[in-house]
Amino acid sequence: MSFKKLISNSNPSLVWYHWEYTYNPTIKAYQFLEGIDLGPELSAANGSDGVRFYDGFSPGNDSQIVTASSLLSISLLQKRLNQIDGSVKLVLAHV
């Protein structure tokens, strides 16, 4: 099937949802970082400075978002990723 035919036969909403839940950088960051031991320096438990994971803000919201509370947290996260693998580079979307 040609690309043009595939596009003309697709439902734009399904294409968008597939991208949103598979390729969206926010979701990819969440899914990647969620499974990594970030160590105590980056734990945001008890309101301390660090990295926080949000899996839906309310019922019906499927957002998966990772936030860092400061530039120091981002620096510590990059340091930890370098210790673990060394091949991951953080790219900031919003500062």
Summarize pLDDT for 5-64 with one digit per residue, the tens. Answer: 766 777 877 777 777 778 888 888 999 999 898 888 887 665 667 898 998 888 888 888
CB 80 within 8 A of CB 72: no
Q: Where are the alpha helices (DSSP H) in the chain?
A: 3-8, 12-22, 25-34, 71-84
Does the pLDDT of residue 74 top 60, yes or no?
A: yes
What residue ranges do the domains of the chain occupy?
Answer: 3-84
pLDDT at res. 48: 62
Give the pLDDT confidence of 48-62 residue by residue, as tens digits. 678 989 988 888 888
Neighbouring residues of 68: CB distance < 8 A, sequence distance ≥ 6: 50, 51, 52, 74, 77
Tell me the pTM. Answer: 0.72
